[in-house]
Each structure stands twice: as structure tokens, then as C-alpha cells.
């Protein structure tokens, strides 16, 4: 069944025209969907009853049911578990950063993930299905409504595609969701406030560059060495660094924003001084930033984070070469909401 939140302005206009409605109805409908965000057709009081009935017949307004929410002790990180209409389970996270005045939603673009990175809880559970555009938008709208009841009425300011799944392998749904989240009639988020994180799918990166969305791009690199990367991310065999970097160069050339690389530090795997040197050599030609993430523990995964001194040494090696490399301290680990922990203990 179609999800009305996923319909573009053009699709709404076409539907209204087919239903014999004047063009302004599509605009009214869009307002109910994305500005007022009502969850029932009956609330769309300025639309004729017959049109409302037709809308109800042809699609839905909501597909997710909140199964539960966990708040971290400091209440700054919360994790949601949603049940989709087909019973699929989807997780999202809200991270409030008071000093930066940011309220970031981390959305899932898939249920499970086919990429099976060796250190990630999502991949360990296999792939179920893509999350639809409507389900992505719904995660943001529901959490935006929640955020407004907290922190002085301010809603979500940033959306990151860093939950479960590989967004560039669910390209059409993710692009539709990004475009809707940018729409001034709804969230009105600028590309600067939208970040897509990818394991590095070259064709997807090119398509994203072509789309004109102008969002931020984060790339999960985790190793500058092809062999080590393949050990951590089996998808690196299909998309080697030699194919990834030309796509990134193309993206960077067409974007006003620096690329962010994510580098998960794992003891005795990718965190030595030699690894840092290799990373510097690879990234030197790039305008970029590296987020260093000491590995978050995942049940059943034997890797561990390096000692703090090794993390510092790695960071210093990058910064000495002029590459900004903040260490991302885990947020939400206690509620299983940290990077790579989604889906752990969910079932
Ligand atoms: N598939 C996309 C989106 C997932 S985002 C991608 O790979 O970028 C989730 C981020 O958390 C990725 O950078 C991922 O590599 C990282 N991650 C996964 N498991 C982790 C763990 N146990 N500790 C720290 N980061 C992890």
C-alpha cells in the first residue's frame, strides 16, 4: 500500500487531478501531510469528504507503531523500536547535544543489512528488507514531535543516515526521503543538516552527486589498506579503494562540503602508527575530516577498542598531518544505541 508521506508534490498533484480535484487541493494535502502532520484523514478538515475517502482507499498515513523507547540516564540519547505494518522491526536514535544546540535523529534505511561488516551488530543479523521512504520520513516526524515536547519546544535539527542498513543500496527510497526532509513545507532541513553515511558504494556516491541533494557524505573507511579493509568489510572486495576514491573525488568536486571519513579503531587490526601513516598518505590530497570511533562492544564480536594511549597517538598522527580527527566518544552505549549496536539484543 502506498505511503502518503513518500509521495512527491508531483505525485500528489497527479492524484488530485485524477480524483477530479482542483490543483490547490494537492497543496492543501501536502500541508496536512508535512506541515501539520496529521495521522488521520478525518483531520484534513478543508478537504472534501469524498477526496479524503479516496486518499484513505489508496494509501496510508502511518506505517510504524512505537514498540518501545529507551532513554539514557542523562536523557540526552534515546532509542526507539518501531514495528512496521508487516511486522518488521526498525530502530532509530535521538541524540541531543546541548552545547551545540543540536538534536540529531539517526535513521535506519534497512531492516538488517547485507554488508556484514565484521564488527557491526546489524550485519551479524543478515538482511531483511529495505525501509521505505515513508517509513524513513515517519521516523523523523515521530521523533521531531517527541523532541518538541522536550528541550524547550525545539524540534529535530539534523538527520543522519547512520542507523541500520546501507543507504546507497536503498537509493530511491533514501533520495525520496532526503528530498522530502529538505522541503520547506515540512522539516525544511538544508543539505548541511543531512548526512548520509555509506560503506562506500561507488555507483551510489556518483548517483548522489548527480541528484543535487547536496547533503553531507560520510564514508566508513576503517582502513586505508585494502587487505585490512576487506577483512573488516567484505564489501570492500566488490568496491575496492581504487574504485571508491575516484567516486569520492567526483563527489567532492561537485560539493561545497568536506567529506567525513569514519574510522572505527580496533586494537591490533587498524590502530597502529603504521596504519595511521597509511591513512595520512591516502587522505592527504583530500579536504576532509576523520571521525575516530573507538570500537563499541558488540555481543559475539571478539574485536576490542585500543587502549586510550593508542587512540591518542593515532589522533595525533593525523592532526600532525593537518587532518582534523576528533575522537567520537560513545553516546548511548548503555541503551545499545551507539554506532553499530543497533539490533543488538532487539529480538
Ligand atoms: N552502512 C552505512 C551506515 C551505517 S552507519 C555505513 O557503513 O556507513 C554506522 C556507522 O557505525 C558506520 O560507520 C559503521 O562502520 C559504524 N559501526 C558499526 N559497528 C560499529 C561498532 N561496533 N563500533 C563503532 N562503530 C561501528
3-state SS, one letter per residue, for 46-60:
CCCHHHHHHHHHHEE
Largest CA distance in the chain: 69
Q: Is 169 a pocket residue for ligand 1 (Cβ < 6 Å)?
A: no
DSSP state of 207: H
Residue 305 CA, ligand 1 centroid: distance in Å: 14
- pLDDT score for 343: 64
Determine the pLDDT at residue 341. 67
pLDDT, tens only, 36-74: 999 999 999 999 999 999 999 999 999 999 999 999 998
* Beta carbon of 123 within 6 Å of any ligand 1 atom: no
List the one residue out of 233, 203, 208 whose CA is nearest residue 122.
233
First CA to last CA across the chain, in angstroms? 26
Q: How confident is the model at residue 344 (pLDDT cuts 50, 70, 90)?
A: low
**Cα-Cα-Cα-Cα dihedral sign, residues 234, 160, 113, 147:** positive
C-beta of 220 in contact with ligand 1 (< 6 A): yes
**Alpha carbons 220 and 311: distance in angstroms, whole number:** 18
The whole-number pLDDT of residue 151 equals 62
Ligand 1 pocket member 296 (CB < 6 A)? yes
Using an 8 Å Cβ cutoff, are 244 and 198 in contact? Answer: no
| Separation of CA 279 and ligand 1 centre (Å) | 18
Rounded Cα distance, 96 and 102, in Å: 6
Distance CA 335, CA 320 (A): 35
Q: What is the pLDDT of residues 249-281, one digit of tens each?
A: 999 998 888 899 999 999 999 999 999 999 999
Measured by CA distance, the residue closest to atom 26 of ligand 1 is: 340
Does 166 sit in the ligand 1 pocket, CB within 6 Å?
A: yes
- Protein residue with its CA nearest to atom 24 in ligand 1: 295
Q: Would you state the pLDDT for residue 122?
A: 85
Looking at the chain, the whole-number percentage of residues with pLDDT higher than 90 is 84
Residue 193 — left, alpha, or beta (φ > 0 → left; ψ -120 to 50 → alpha)?
Answer: alpha
For atom 25 of ligand 1, which residue has the closest CA?
Answer: 339
For the chain, percent of residues with pLDDT exceeding 70? 97
Closest-CA residue, ligand 1 atom 3, reads 162
Nearest atom within ligand 1 for CA of residue 330:
24
Q: Which atom of ligand 1 is nearest to the CA of 121?
A: 19
* Residues forming the active site: 91, 339
Distance 319 CA to ligand 1 centre (A): 22
Report whether 225 contacts 272 (CB < 8 A).
Answer: no
Q: Is 265 in the pocket of ligand 1 (CB under 6 A)?
A: no
**CA 338 centroid distance within chain:** 13
Among residues 302, 341, 347, 276, the alpha carbon closest in space to that of 118 is found at 302
Ligand 1 near 295 CB (within 6 A): yes
Residue 212 alpha carbon to ligand 1 centre in Å:
25
**36-45, 78-87, 193-202, 326-335: lowest mean pLDDT where?**
326-335
pLDDT for residue 52: 98
Mean pLDDT score of the chain: 94
**pLDDT tens per residue across span 112-134:** 999 999 999 888 889 999 999 99
Q: What is the CA radius of gyration of the chain?
A: 21
- Cβ-contact 281, 275 below 8 angstroms: no
Q: Is 108 in the pocket of ligand 1 (CB under 6 A)?
A: no
Query: Per mean pLDDT, which range of 62-71, 238-247, 286-295, 333-342 is the poorest?
Result: 333-342
Mutate to test the pocket of ligand 1, among 264, 269, 302, 305 (most ligand atoms within 8 A of CB): 264
Mean pLDDT of 141-164: 92
Q: Which residues of 132-150 are buried (b: 16+ CB within 10 A; e: fewer)?
A: bbbbbbbbbbbbbebbeee
Amino acid at each position: 500500500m502506498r505511503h502518503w508521506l513518500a509521495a512527491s508534490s508531483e505525485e500528489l498533484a497527479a492524484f488530485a487531478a485524477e480524483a477530479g480535484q482542483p490543483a490547490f487541493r494537492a497543496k492543501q494535502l501536502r500541508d496536512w501531510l508535512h506541515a501539520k502532520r496529521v495521522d488521520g484523514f478525518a483531520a484534513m478538515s478543508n478537504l472534501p469528504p469524498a477526496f479524503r475517502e479516496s486518499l484513505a482507499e489508496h494509501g496510508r498515513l502511518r506505517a510504524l507503531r512505537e514498540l518501545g523507547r529507551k532513554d539514557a540516564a542523562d536523557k540526552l540519547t534515546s532509542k526507539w523500536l518501531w514495528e512496521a505494518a508487516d511486522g518488521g522491526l526498525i530502530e532509530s536514535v535521538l541524540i541531543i547535544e546541548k552545547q551545540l544546540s543540536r538534536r540529531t535523529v539517526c535513521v535506519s534505511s534497512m531492516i538488517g543489512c547485507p554488508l556484514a561488516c565484521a564488527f557491526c551488530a546489524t550485519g551479524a543479523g543478515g538482511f531483511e528488507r529495505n525501509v521505505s521512504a515513508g517509513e524513513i520520513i515517519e521516523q523523523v516526524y515521530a521523533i521531531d514531535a517527541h523532541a518538541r515536547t522536550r528541550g524547550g519546544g525545539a524540534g529535530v535539527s539534523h538527520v543522519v543516515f547512520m542507523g541500520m542498513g546501507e543507504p546507497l543500496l536503498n537509493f530511491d527510497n533514501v533520495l525520496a526521503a532526503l528530498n522530502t526532509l529538505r522541503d520547506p513545507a515540512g522539516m525544511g532541513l538544508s543539505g548541511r543538516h543531512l548526512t548520509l553515511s555509506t560503506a562506500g558504494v561507488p555507483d551510489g556516491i556518483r548517483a548522489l552527486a548527480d541528484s543535487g541533494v547536496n547533503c553531507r557524505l560520510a564514508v566508513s573507511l576503517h582502513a586505508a589498506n585494502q587487505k585490512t579493509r576487506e577483512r573488516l568489510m567484505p564489501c570492500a572486495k566488490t568496491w575496492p579503494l581504487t574504485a571508491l576514491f575516484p567516486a569520492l573525488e567526483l563527489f567532492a568536486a561537485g560539493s561545497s562540503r568536506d567529506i567525513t571519513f569514519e574510522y572505527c579503531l580496533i586494537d591490533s587490526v587498524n590502530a597502529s602508527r603504521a596504519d595511521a601513516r597509511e591513512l595520512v598518505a591516502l587522505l592527504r590530497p583530500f579536504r576532509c575530516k576523520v571521525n575516530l570511533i573507538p570500537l563499541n562492544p558488540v555481543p559475539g564480536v571478539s574485536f576490542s577498542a585500543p587502549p586510550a594511549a593508542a587512540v591518542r597517538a593515532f589522533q595525533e598522527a593525523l592532526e600532525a598531518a593537518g587532518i582534523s580527527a576528533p575522537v567520537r566518544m560513545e553516546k548511548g552505549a548503555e541503551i545499545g544505541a551507539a554506532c553499530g549496536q543497533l539490533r543488538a539484543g532487539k529480538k
